[in-house]
Amino acid sequence: MRRAAGCILALLLAIWAPGCYESPDLTYHEPGVYKGSEDPLLKRQSSLEYLVEIHKRFRTIQTDR
């Protein structure tokens, strides 16, 4: 009886143990620091053409109201 209980316990541990594994590729966050992949829109946002285009869109929308 004890041996059967031990086998069942070992089987349950073998099934549950992989669920407790934590992946080592975690990203630790720090306030104010972006650690994600490079955003291609950031380069575009700093160009003068983009700022003029956004300003035109804003004026168009605001004058309709």
pLDDT attached to residue 56: 92
Spatial contact of 41 and 47, defined as CB atoms under 8 Å apart:
no
Q: Give the C-alpha separation, 18 to 15, whole Å.
A: 7
What are 16-56's pLDDT values in tens digits? Answer: 776 666 666 766 778 887 777 888 888 788 889 988 998 99
User: Would you state the pLDDT for residue 35?
Assistant: 76
How is residue 27 written in tokens? 């990203």
- For 42, 44, 61, 65, the CA distances from 51, given in Å and listed in that order, are 12, 9, 15, 22
